[in-house]
Each structure stands twice: as structure tokens, then as C-alpha cells.
């Protein structure tokens, strides 16, 4: 099974947001860049079965932009991506989608980079906003896998402009 990790796009900074962190949205630049990244993701032909997103607004908006570009991929929310995402929760999510061959998880830092690093063997991973990582897992219940890709947002935006 292939699992792709996408960190949400550029969001309004917490210091300049007066509402709940749960409702903090993508900025206009964040949306524009994610639209380009969504085009690049489409061109990568990841053959996603579903996109699973944190319920926080900025992650949902990111997932919706990618899903809209891909056209026929369902999007579901999962609170396990919102707070305390870790290797155990990743395993639970992989097991919960037994027929999926490829899924995308849209979430947050610092838990995504820490989880990716542990899944590939205690590696340090720098996971910038709107970066994409892919891991191949042989066993869903014990998520230890092989890194397929780690694509920084600048590269995805450049690919989306082509």
C-alpha cells in the first residue's frame, strides 16, 4: 500500500487570526499555490483511492483543492490527523482502508514529519507547508515502510506551472 502525506498549504498566521485555530483558513497565496500543486499531483498519477484529511479548516481546504483537481477521489475527515497523529494512529488509519492501494493524508506539523520519520526508520524529516511525501507499506498493521518521495512545495509549484 502507498500512503502519501500532504501538509496543508500556507494558512493565516496564528498571531494575526482572531478566531479559533480550528477555523484558521488558507491564505489567498496558499490557495493559489495549492491549485498549482494539485495540478502537479494530478500529473504524478498517484492513483489515489481516497484523501483523508484533518477536520481543521486549512487541511480540509487543501484536501478539497486536490480532490477537485483529481475529480473522482472521495475525501473523508479523520480527527486522528488533527491532534496527536503518530505511528499508532497511522496504522489504525491504514487498517481502516483495507481495499485501498493508495491514500493521501492531509495534516499538520509537527506530528506529520515525526510520524513519517518513524515510519521510515527514525529519520529526521523536514516537512514544509504543502510538501508531499510518499511511503510504501508492506504491512498496514505495523507501519514501517520505504520512502518513495519527499517533494518540497517549490518543486510541486514549479511542476504545476508547466
- pLDDT tens over the chain, length 162 residues: 999 999 999 999 989 999 998 999 999 999 999 999 999 999 999 999 999 999 999 999 999 999 999 998 999 999 999 989 999 999 999 999 999 999 999 999 999 999 999 999 989 999 999 999 999 999 887 788 999 999 999 999 999 998
Please, which residues have CB within 8 angstroms of residue 9's CB and are 6 or more apart in sequence? 26, 30, 31, 33, 34, 37, 58, 61, 62, 65, 129, 130
- For 119, the domain range is 2-160
Q: Residue 101's pLDDT is what? A: 95
Report the number of distinct structural domains present in the chain: 1
Q: What's the pTM value of the predicted model, to 2 decimals?
A: 0.96
Q: For position 68, which CATH number holds?
A: 3.40.50.1240
Q: Residue 119's pLDDT is what? A: 95
Amino acid at each position: 500500500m502507498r500512503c502519501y502525506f500532504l501538509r496543508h498549504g500556507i494558512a493565516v498566521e496564528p498571531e494575526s487570526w482572531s478566531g479559533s485555530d480550528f477555523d484558521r483558513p488558507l491564505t489567498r497565496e496558499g490557495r493559489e499555490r495549492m491549485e498549482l500543486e494539485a495540478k502537479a499531483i494530478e500529473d504524478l498519477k498517484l492513483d489515489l483511492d481516497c484523501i483523508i484529511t484533518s477536520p481543521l479548516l486549512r487541511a480540509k481546504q487543501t484536501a478539497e483543492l486536490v480532490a477537485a483537481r483529481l475529480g473522482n477521489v472521495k475525501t473523508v475527515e479523520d480527527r486522528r490527523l488533527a491532534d496527536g497523529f503518530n505511528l499508532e494512529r497511522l496504522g489504525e488509519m491504514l487498517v481502516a482502508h483495507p481495499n485501498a492501494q493508495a491514500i493521501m493524508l492531509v495534516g499538520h506539523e509537527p506530528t506529520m514529519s515525526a510520524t513519517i520519520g518513524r515510519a521510515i526508520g527514525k529519520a529526521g524529516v523536514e516537512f514544509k507547508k504543502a510538501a508531499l511525501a510518499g511511503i510504501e507499506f508492506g504491512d498496514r498493521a505495523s507501519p514501517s515502510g520505504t520512502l518513495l518521495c519527499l517533494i518540497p512545495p517549490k518543486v510541486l509549484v514549479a511542476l504545476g506551472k508547466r
